């Protein structure tokens, strides 16, 4: 699985530039970005194929240094939240391979990330302080219909993609 690190995230965590990715199947590629909203940082994780979005908040300082595990866990939580079973999630992660940081995956996936962030900033929801996975924020973004996908929502597209892993 490739995690495309945006330049703002790279600067925020003071990381060196990651290498280019090599994954052919963009279903296994995610763009990862940091956004400041309502005086706290949110981590946006957006699938490069279908814009399925995971919003994380309440990041402890040490978690920014262990971002690979945090992102992987966030993706897994979000997939389970939309009803993906243990088998589908396990098969997805097995086929995706280990999580590796790369540069972002091109103009279209980054445009999709920016589109989701724009919608989020248009209506920022309050941070749920007890949890890292921001269920309400993620669901709100993933249940919006998009013209780009013939007015289908990203949650529906991700559910369909996960059917291949059942």
DSSP string, 8-22: HHHHHTTPPPPPPP-
Beta-bridge partners for 46:
31, 53
Going by C-beta distance under 8 Å and a sequence separation of 6 or more, which residues neighbour residue 41? 12, 34, 35, 57, 59
Supply the range of the domain harboring residue 7: 2-165
56-66 confidence digits (pLDDT tens): 998 888 899 99
Residue 145 is inside which H or E element, if any?
strand 145-146
Cβ atoms 99, 72 nearer than 8 A: yes
**Which token pair is 10?**
């790279």
Burial of 11 (0-12, 13-18, 19+ CB in 10 A): exposed
Question: Please, which pLDDT band fits residue 69 given cuts at 50, 70 and 90?
Answer: very high
Cβ atoms < 10 Å from Cβ of 41: 16
pLDDT (tens digit, 9 = 90+) per residue, 79-120?
Answer: 999 999 999 999 999 999 999 999 999 999 999 999 999 988
Instruction: State the average pLDDT over residues 41-50.
Output: 94
Give the domain CATH number at 133: 3.30.420
Mean pLDDT, the chain, integer: 92
Element (H, E) at 33: strand 29-37
Q: Are 117 and 45 in contact (CB under 8 A)?
A: no
- pLDDT category at 124 given cuts 50, 70, 90 is low
Q: Structurally, how many domains does the chain consist of?
A: 1
Average pLDDT over residues 119-132: 78
Taking the complete model, does pTM exceed 0.85, yes or no?
A: yes
In angstroms, the CA 43 to CA 74 distance is 10
Residue 125 has pLDDT above 80, yes or no: no
């Amino acid at each position: 699985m490739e995690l495309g690190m945006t330049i703002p995230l790279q600067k925020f965590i003071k990381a060196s530039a990651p290498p280019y990715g090599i994954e052919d199947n963009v279903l296994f590629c995610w763009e990862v970005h940091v956004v400041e909203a309502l005086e706290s940082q949110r981590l946006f994780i957006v699938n490069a194929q279908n814009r399925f979005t995971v919003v994380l908040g309440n990041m402890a300082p040490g978690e920014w240094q262990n971002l690979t595990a945090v992102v992987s866990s966030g993706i897994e939580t979000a997939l389970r939240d939309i009803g993906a079973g243990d088998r589908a999630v396990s098969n997805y992660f097995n086929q995706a391979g280990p999580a590796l940081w790369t540069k972002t995956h091109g103009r279209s996936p980054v445009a999709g990330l920016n589109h989701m962030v724009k919608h989020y900033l248009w209506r920022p929801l309050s941070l749920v302080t007890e949890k890292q996975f921001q269920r309400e924020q993620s669901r709100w973004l993933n249940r919006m219909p998009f013209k780009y996908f013939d007015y289908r929502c990203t949650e529906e597209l991700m559910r369909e993609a996960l059917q291949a892993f059942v």
